[in-house]
Structure 1
């Protein structure tokens, strides 16, 4: 099918996508069923409760004390907060889900005004605009990964069972727009002037974060169907995402429908392709991953960072914090098997140094970009915890701890949720389910796992 043929007239005009579930999409994607009701074997009826959640639990065997909190208790409290809400909530960019505003957004500029007007307004307008609280596939993937990390760390079957329930949902909510396993956002999304992605239509980044927990689940349980889903998602990246030629490299576009090249999206795709290729010993995935990683390495600037897109003139961001983290986390797994003088290893080490020296305040606050401090955003803090726990260098571990201390002190609500950001004049305390909660649950689980043995992820 031609890329543009997937757009209906309504989607082009800005109305929310309503792809039919019987459109034929998803018909060939592999089935997935929860292998065993792991949670039925649990001793504790609820993984997220009953474990030292008060501050007097500091120093418990569960986890280290950070900023006056037991980090493991915070992780479980945050997961419990999300579970109580069925992992559904608002998103910074869900303004077009408003029945009041979506019908008016029939031009790319109007869509941008709606999306950013809602997300930047000092008060949360969504309850008044009728925006529903929903599950976001990317957020569900992040929560599933967090539970799998906790299962690896604690060995508690109930954590595995909760992860598998979320994998059930992801398997049932693959994008109907393509036959292969892929996922998109639960809202219409206009990315500047570059592209418009209707709700449920897939993109590479969301697909990667939804496929990762299936791959991790296979590594932890040996369940072949999980690996089949991850492989199918890798096939989607290989066959369905668009390609563009950039500086002699054949690279991936952000979605199947556009020509926009984001460097971090290529790094994330390369990471999944590489890992799936390793598990299955399939050269086509490994070869494509090498090509994409070569592009990422060549795209690194003399300073050691990466622009958001290629060419750099298309970038709406400079050297921003968490997208740099995406690139470095992706490279971290690839370079483990590379010599110190391998170009990818050198790029990774140089990038980590640039990231550490330019993206954080002395107290651990995550700067927005290298030359712009505010807003201090929870997403950047979360990705930093993940990025700097990928290796055991003292300077990385020390920075990760400072970032976590700052985050718990400034963005954590003791009820169990995280606030979004601290701006120059306004603090956004909206508890977004994906942007805040899912990312911090994953980050906390990664931080805790570092002290309890590394899992192959």
Structure 2
């Protein structure tokens, strides 16, 4: 690397570090309250009018979600605190602390983790979390704060990262309790000697198999099981990953659900990236190379079919727009992680970040916008969907590219 390249690299690191610090400060200043993608039923008006059954609930949520402007204030939707967002912001603070060693980031991360512990759901085995709003998905309905495995896993990764960095047994104990929830709560959709698949929510009636749920569970089982030398957890981690790997298509993609026809979503951007990350982290944690070929082939499909040549995140493999901020964040994370297997992947992560800062970043406020279409951009921020994911992404990118600037 010549002198100019080194100078440019250091300047970019400082710029990205400043963007991350601003994101974290903005969130803290707002007391982590913001609007959310699926929070339409927090509107008193929409809840009374459309909250009684599946199709009207979907209409209420999807209408606000798809509107070109943010209609939530008009319908009385309050700004609220999203537990998954708290987990993501905590993880980003921990990553920043790991590089800068500044106590302010450690302290903020621990404050956020304490907030999560205080609000953890214990009505099921272990401890768990859900979304703070009523949520109608295609396959199920979840009342406000009803726990689910996806939110709980992402929070679990933050607690595990805290245990790695800070060594507090309390955080490892939370990971163990989370694994109890994931394993013992309903519902196991597949449970054989070689495969294990969990439902999204702990509800015996739900048999809807969402692909990334078992990948997320398998990753946390691997992290916790390796640390504790727990053979049962590691066996369940392997069975979860086998279930996911065995459903990779012949052209190396994953559908959102199994069977694929259970959802209109085919091969979308961020769920595909999440599955790849879980496989990569599983292999790195357990020291196995069993899924390397499937991972690298899946990564190639992901790069070639879910991103444009300029780094813009495609909505799905067969649909380009809207360019979604979560897809951009996921790409930055996925290719940063992939650089451990293929160093050239880091250039792709940097390209996606560059595109995102040019197209979905408000340089005046330091916040990220929601989506960009061919004609217009949705220039509003959904705190967890936009800023929390980008904070997590930039922190991962900085951790991969080198020491975060202390200034």
Q: Quick check: TM above 0.5?
A: yes
SS of the residue aligned with 2:207?
Answer: coil
The answer to whether the 8 Å contact 2:126/2:178 transfers is: yes
Paired position in structure 1 for 2:323: 376
What is the alpha-carbon distance in structure 2 between the residues aligned to residue 96 and residue 405 of structure 1?
35
Q: How does 1:328-367 map to 2 (within 5 A)?
A: 328-336=276-284, 337-338=286-287, 340=289, 342=290, 344-367=291-314
TM-score (norm 1): 0.82
Q: How does 1:267-346 map to 2 (within 5 A)?
A: 267-336=215-284, 337-338=286-287, 340=289, 342=290, 344-346=291-293
The structure where helix makes up a greater share of residues is 2
SS of the residue aligned with 1:65?
Answer: helix
TM-score (norm 2): 0.92
Paired position in structure 2 for 1:266: 214
The correspondence for 1:421, drawn from 366, 371, 384, is 371
Paired position in structure 2 for 1:451: 401
Q: Is there any run of 5+ residues in structure 2 with no aligned partner, and where?
A: 1-5
The correspondence for 1:412, drawn from 347, 361, 370, is 361
The correspondence for 2:198, drawn from 252, 257, 260, is 252
Sort the Cα spacing of 1:426 and 1:107 in 2 relative to 1 into closer, same or farther, 3 A.
Answer: farther
What is the alpha-carbon distance in structure 2 between the residues aligned to residue 274 and residue 142 of structure 1?
20
Instruction: Quote how far apart the aligned CAs of 1:398 are.
Output: 1.0
Sort the Cα spacing of 1:270 and 1:180 in 2 relative to 1 into closer, same or farther, 3 A.
Answer: same
The answer to whether the 8 Å contact 1:382/1:439 transfers is: yes
SS of the residue aligned with 1:127?
Answer: coil
Q: Show CA shifts across 1:149-200 (max 9, x none).
A: 00111111111000001001111111254242100001111112x1001111
What is the alpha-carbon distance in structure 2 between the residues aligned to residue 366 and residue 181 of structure 1?
34
Sort the Cα spacing of 1:270 and 1:100 in 2 relative to 1 into closer, same or farther, 3 A.
Answer: same
SS of the residue aligned with 1:251?
Answer: strand
The answer to whether the 8 Å contact 1:204/1:241 transfers is: no
Paired position in structure 2 for 1:24: none
Q: How does 1:141-156 map to 2 (within 5 A)?
A: 141-156=87-102
The answer to whether the 8 Å contact 2:94/2:161 transfers is: yes
Instruction: Quote how far apart the aligned CAs of 1:403 are.
Output: 0.1
Paired position in structure 2 for 1:197: 142
Paired position in structure 1 for 2:3: none
Sort the Cα spacing of 1:217 and 1:250 in 2 relative to 1 into closer, same or farther, 3 A.
Answer: closer
Paired position in structure 2 for 1:208: 153
What is the alpha-carbon distance in structure 1 between the residues aligned to residue 353 and residue 84 of structure 2?
23
The answer to whether the 8 Å contact 2:125/2:180 transfers is: no
The answer to whether the 8 Å contact 1:177/1:202 transfers is: no
Sort the Cα spacing of 1:70 and 1:103 in 2 relative to 1 into closer, same or farther, 3 A.
Answer: same
SS of the residue aligned with 2:141?
Answer: strand
What is the alpha-carbon distance in structure 2 between the residues aligned to residue 362 and residue 164 of structure 1?
40
Q: Show CA shifts across 1:24-79 (max 9, x none).
A: xxxxxxxxxxxxxxxxxxxxxxxxxxxxxxxxxx9699x5517xx81111111111
What is the alpha-carbon distance in structure 2 between the residues aligned to residue 294 and residue 251 of structure 1?
9
Greater mean alpha carbon deviation, residues 404-413 or residues 425-434: 425-434
RMSD: 1.9
Instruction: Quote how far apart the aligned CAs of 1:345 are.
Output: 1.5
The answer to whether the 8 Å contact 2:125/2:185 transfers is: no
The correspondence for 1:114, drawn from 57, 60, 69, is 60
What is the alpha-carbon distance in structure 2 between the residues aligned to residue 444 and residue 184 of structure 1?
25
Paired position in structure 2 for 1:84: 29
SS of the residue aligned with 1:245?
Answer: strand
Instruction: Quote how far apart the aligned CAs of 1:213 are.
Output: 1.1
